[in-house]
Amino acid sequence: MSQPAEAAASAAARVEGLERDPAAVVDALVRRGRAAMDAFADATQERVDEAVTALAWALYKPEHAKALARMAVEDTGIGNAPDKVVKNQRKTFGTLRDLLRAKSVGVIEELPALGLVKYAKPVGVVGAVTPSTNPAATPVNKAMMAIKGRNAIVIAPSPAGLATTTRTVELMRAELEKIGAPADLVQVLPPPVDKASTHALMAACDLVVVTGSQNNVREAYRSGTPAIGVGAGNVPVIIDASAKLDEAADRIMRSKCFDNATSCSSENSVVILDEVYEEAIAALERAGGHLASPAEKEAIRGTLWVNGKLNRAVIAKDADVFAAACGLGGRAPAARFFLVEETGVGREHPFSDEKLALVLTVYRAPDFDDALTRVREILAFKGRGHSVGIHTEEPAHARRLAEELDTARVLVNMAHTFGNGGGFDSGLNFTLSMGCGTWQGNSISENLNYRHFLNITHLAVPIPEDRPSEEALFGAYWERYGR
C-alpha cells in the first residue's frame, strides 16, 4: 500500500481519537451500549413500547422507506427499489404489531397453579450481523426486538450495504433522541467494516444474532458468546394434483419476483405432479413465466454460475436485464421470471441450489410420494430445516410434509415470501431471520422474535404437593415387562 493510501486508511480508521484497533473500537461501542442500557433500565413497558415504535417509524416513514430502498439498490446492486419500499414498511409494520402485543418488562407471565411468576430481564448488548439483501429492513427488525427487551444493539452490516445500514442507524438514533431515549441503544460499526471488526464485536457482546453469510453464522457459534444464527434457504414447493393452478401460479410468481428473489424464503424449485404438469406449466406461463428451451437453459447456467459460484453481476436483477445478460431472445425479455426443467439434484445440478435470481427450477413427479422424496433430496442438498411450500386442496398431503420432512416451516397455499417471515394471513411472527434448527446447525427452529432477546427469572413458591405414586408412574411398565 502506498504512503498516501496508508494515511487515508489510518485516518478513516479513527473513532473518537482511537487508532483503528478493532477490539478498542468495539470496546468503546459496547461500553456506550451498556451506559445506554443503564439509563434505560427502569423504563416501563409503555416507555419501552414507545422506543420500539420510534425505531419502527424511522423506517416506516414513507420518505425514509423510499430513500433507503433506493439507496440499498445503489449500494448493493441487487433487488429493486419498489419492492424494497414494500419490504421496509410491511416487515416493520408487522413486527411492530407483534411487539406491541407482547409483555417484555417486569412480570410477563403468572402461572398460579404451578406457583410460578416469570420476570423478563435484558440479555445485554446484542451484536447483530446483517446481510446485504436487506440492509435497512433487517437492522430495524433486529433493533426493535432487542430494544423490546431493554437491550442495546450494535449492528455489523454487510460491507456491500454499509452506507444504507449506517444511514438507517442514524435515522433510528434520531427518533430515539426525539423521544428522549438514549441514542446509544442502537449503534453501528464504523467503516471499514471487515472480518476483524465483526469478529471483535462477536467476542465482546453478550449475544450474537447473525442473518446472512453462513461463514458468519459459523464464526458466531465459534466466538464463545451465546449466539443465534439462521440458515440458508432453498425453498422447494409442490404443486399438487388438487391445486387451484392459476391461484398457485399467481402466488408463486408474486413471491418469486418480489425484490428480484433476494429473500431466503423465495421459491427456488417447484415440483409438479405429473397429472397436472402441462396445465401447471401453462398457468405459470400465464403468470409471466418463460419456459426455457434446452439451449436457453445452458445459456442461463453459463451466465448465472462462474467457476461454480453465483455471478454477482446477474443475481437479483430485473428479468429483462437478466435475459439480456444470458442472451435470451424472442419472448424471454418480456417474461417476469424463468422456468428451467431439471431432473437431478446435487452439485452436478446447480439449478437444484439456491439461485438468488428470477429462475425457478421445475421438477416433474409421477405421484405425491415421489414429489415428497424429491423435496427431501433438494433440502438435503441445500436448505435443510428452512421451509417448504405446497399448493393443494388435500390437507393430509400438507400434514405429511410436516410429519416427514426435516423442515421448520410448511406453508400451505401461500406466496412463500409473504408468509414465511410472518404475514397478516399467517400465524408465523414477522421477522427477517428464519431459524432452521439443528438440521442446519442453528440453535433455534422458529422465526427469530423478541423472546430470543430476553432472560427470564422464574419466581417459584410452594404449591400443593404433586407427587404421584410409584404405581401410577411405573405400573404399566411393570405389568408389561416386570419389575
**pTM reported for the whole predicted model:** 0.93
Return the pLDDT at 137.
97
Name the β-bridge partners of 188: 155
Return the pLDDT at 12.
43
Can you state the percent helix, strand and coil of the chain, rounding each to 5? 50, 20, 30
Would residue 257 show up in a list of annotated catalytic residues for this protein?
Answer: no
Question: Can you list the domains of the chain with their CATH numbers?
Answer: 18-230+448-458 (3.40.605.10), 235-421 (3.40.309.10)
| 3-state secondary structure string across the chain | CCHHHHHHHHHHCCECCECCCHHHHHHHHHHHHHHHHHHHCCCCHHHHHHHHHHHHHHHHCHHHHHHHHHHHHHHHCCCCHHHHHHHHHHHHHHHHHHHHCCCCCEEEEEEHHHCEEEEEEECCEEEEECCCCCCCHHHHHHHHHHHHCCCEEEEECCHHHHHHHHHHHHHHHHHHHHCCCCHHHEEECCCCCCHHHHHHHHHHCCEEEECCCHHHHHHHHHCCCCEEECCCCCEEEEECCCCCHHHHHHHHHHHHHHHHHCCCCCEEEEEEEHHHHHHHHHHHHHCCEEECCHHHHHHHHHHHEECCEECCCCCCCCHHHHHHHHCCCCCHHHCCEEEEECCCCECCEHHHCCCCCCEEEEEEECCHHHHHHHHHHHHHHCCCECCEEEECCCHHHHHHHHHHCCECCEEECCCHHHHHCCECCECCCCCCCECCCHHHCCCCCCECCHHHHEEEEEEECCCCCCCCCHHHHHHHHHHHHCC
Return the pLDDT at 368.
98
For residue 310, the 8-state DSSP code is E
Q: Tens-of-pLDDT digits for all 483 residues of the chain?
A: 333 334 334 334 444 444 579 999 999 999 999 999 999 999 999 999 999 999 999 999 999 999 999 999 999 999 999 999 999 999 999 999 999 999 999 999 999 999 999 999 999 999 999 999 999 999 999 999 999 999 999 999 999 999 999 999 999 999 999 999 999 999 999 999 999 999 999 999 999 999 988 889 999 999 999 999 999 999 999 999 999 999 999 999 999 999 999 999 999 999 999 999 999 999 999 999 999 999 999 999 999 999 999 999 999 999 999 999 999 999 999 999 999 999 999 999 999 999 999 999 999 999 999 999 999 999 999 999 999 999 999 999 999 999 999 999 999 999 999 999 999 999 999 999 999 999 999 999 999 999 999 999 999 999 999 999 999 999 999 999 999
**Active-site residue, selected from the candidate residues 205, 257, 264, 436:** 264
